[in-house]
Amino acid sequence: MAIRIFPLIAITLLSCGCSSQNENPSQADVSSNWTPAELSERQGDLYSYLLSELEEPEKYVDLDEPDGRIYCLTLTPMDQWADTGNWRNIPTDFLHEHPELNTWYRPATDAYLKDGHVLTKDSDARAWMEWVTIRRWVSETEAEVQTGVWCCPLGGGASTRTYEKIDGNWRIIDYGESWVS
């Protein structure tokens, strides 16, 4: 089952982030200093799986986007975007594992946020920021994950799912909240 989020179908994000291996796994994985370089082995394993499940984004063409939609991808949780985006690129290790991501998405740092709108740095074109974030670890083998997409106010959404590693494979065991704007 793919985790692809369509622009107007999604789920709620109140707080999210990543933890270090030294934290109690039942506590929320929230960190104001979140950086992909600090991923633990289990976080890397889950992110690798989640990124492998992404499908190519729809490139809908309309008068406002004659060349199709531009998508960027980040692991940065939405609550840490600040006023200008503050996105970090997907770690190089994951891009080597999933080279299709380089053709489907632009790096997160190719975009910025202005007045709630995602724009490209090179041409100020409208863009969409898609994110995949581990919100918290419920146990050593179970985590809440939030995925979403955002372009502007009234143009985005997110969904929360709980994944568990069962017999060596990640599986969705619960569907949480969702939101759409």
Nearest to 169 by CA among 144, 146, 141, 139: 141
Q: What's the mean per-residue pLDDT of the chain?
A: 81
- Report, in angstroms and rounded to the nearest whole number, the Rg of the chain calculated over CA atoms: 16
Write down the pLDDT at residue 107.
95
Write down the pLDDT at residue 16.
35
Nearest to 13 by CA among 131, 105, 112: 131
User: How many C-beta atoms surround the C-beta of residue 180 within 10 A?
Assistant: 18
Asked if 113 and 84 count as a contact pair (C-beta separation under 8 A), the reply is yes
Q: Report which DSSP code applies to 27.
A: S
User: SS3 of 70, please?
Assistant: coil
Q: What is the pLDDT of residues 107-162, one digit of tens each?
A: 999 999 999 999 999 999 999 999 999 999 999 999 999 999 999 999 999 999 99
The pTM for the full model equals 0.77
Whole-angstrom Cα distance, residue 156 to residue 114? 15
Identity of the amino acid at 178: S
pLDDT confidence band for 58 (50 / 70 / 90): confident
Residue 78 reports pLDDT greater than 70: yes
Residue 97, classified by CB atoms within 10 Å of its CB into exposed (0-12), middle (13-18) or buried (19+), is middle
Q: Report which DSSP code applies to 21.
A: T
> 157 forms bridges with which residues in the sheet?
149, 180
Q: What is the pLDDT of residues 2-33, one digit of tens each?
A: 444 433 333 333 333 333 333 443 444 443 34
